[in-house]
Amino acid sequence: EAEVAQSPRYKITEKSQAVAFWCDPISGHATLYWYRQILGQGPELLVQFQDESVVDDSQLPKDRFSAERLKGVDSTLKIQPAELGDSAMYLCASSSLGQTGTGELFFGEGSRLTVL
Amino acid sequence: AQSVTQLGSHVSVSEGALVLLRCNYSSSVPPYLFWYVQYPNQGLQLLLKYTSAATLVKGINGFEAEFKKSETSFHLTKPSAHMSDAAEYFCAVSEAGGYQKVTFGTGTKLQVIP
């Protein structure tokens, strides 16, 4: 069964350090999402890609966060420098029907970040 | 702008009892609505979705939800709770047109008491 792969599963870092998360969506899925989920809250969209293009990054803190999907396949989310408030689960999801609005999002297991 | 509101961050039911998790949505156009489930330290998994066909939607694990336009609601129900249903449940909304932006609610943690 096809899955969304994410790494690392867990990351502990000190504030002001750089961190990076990687996501490999299900093959053929054109739409890729990065969500941040703070403990006890719902997922919040950080950035959405359609193929290699960013279609929504309105909630991405661009002074410290960056995301890319260079060949329209896998994606990297980077934080530099990390702050204490960045501690959260970072979820990647993909969809094959992103342009219709009806598509199921397939999620990876997430990357849990702890900033000390 | 689209949004969802989930009433009750925690719900406790006895094993075998009815499960009712509430979700109200706000959307400027006809919405698509989803329920996802999340087990500890895992990603989210789709339970069911409403995409303007039948208003009563059946999903996996015996869950179902009814779309009520007049009440702007999409409540999730299950007739008889099982211990394995203990998890966090998220209601989500997206809108037709443009790229699919999916907005999630704050979640309801379901506890099942033996």
Measured distance between the N- and C-terminal CA atoms of chain B, rounded to whole angstroms: 41
pLDDT in tens, chain B (114 residues): 789 999 999 999 999 999 999 999 998 777 889 999 999 888 899 999 998 778 899 999 999 999 999 999 999 999 999 999 999 999 999 876 667 788 999 999 999 999
Quick check: B28 contacting A, CB < 8 Å? no
Amino acid at B92: A
The neighbouring-strand residues paired with A65 are: A79
Residue B100 is nearest to which of A40, A95, A112, comparing CB atoms?
A95
Contact between B74 and B6 under an 8 Å Cβ cutoff? The reply is no
List all residues 6 or more positions away from B46 whose beta carbon is below 8 Å from its beta carbon.
A104, A105, B34, B35, B36, B59
Residues 73..112 of A with a Cβ closer than 8 Å to B: which? 91, 93, 95, 97-105, 107-110, 112
Amino acid at A88: A
pLDDT digits (tens, 9 = 90+) for A14-72: 999 999 999 999 998 989 999 999 988 899 999 999 999 999 999 999 999 999 998 88
If you ran DSSP here, which 8-state letter would residue A60 be given? S
